[in-house]
Amino acid sequence: MKAVIAALEEPEMKRTVVALAIAAIVASPLGAWAGEKVGKVTKWETTTRTVTLDDGRTYVFNETVKTEAMKEGSRIKVTYEEKDGKYVATKYEILQ
């Protein structure tokens, strides 16, 4: 333990440890990143489970999301993850 403490007292070692800690903090949320978007539903395709919002962006709903209440013209907040270049919706909320 004393060897580790002695090593950390060296300025170069401190910089290395700090750099690694910062890199770990920055990289850690990338795998679990989720976005949210609010918009008006302009197109809802039940067979493909895709919704297009008024900004033109299309989201694919995974099979676990219940979409019975989805309809064109609704204003929604969609939570999504980007996977393989697609926006995969993990949940949504109809807004008033």
Do 87 and 60 have their domain in common? Answer: yes
CATH of the domain at 62: 2.40.50.320
C-alpha 17/C-alpha 13 separation (Å) is 6
Give SS3 for 2: helix
Do 27 and 39 have their domain in common? Answer: no
Do 39 and 12 have their domain in common? Answer: no
pLDDT tens per residue, range 59-68: 999 889 999 9
Look at phi and psi of residue 73 and say left if phi exceeds 0, alpha if psi is from -120 to 50, else beta.
left
Do 15 and 40 have their domain in common? Answer: no
pTM over 0.85: no
φ/ψ of 37, rounded to 5, equals: -145, 135
pLDDT tens per residue, range 3-39: 656 555 666 666 665 555 555 555 544 545 789 999 9
C-alpha 2/C-alpha 64 separation (Å) is 52
Structure tokens belonging to residue 41: 């539903």
Number of independent structural domains in the chain: 2
Full domain range(s) for residue 81: 35-95
φ/ψ of 85, rounded to 5, equals: 80, 5
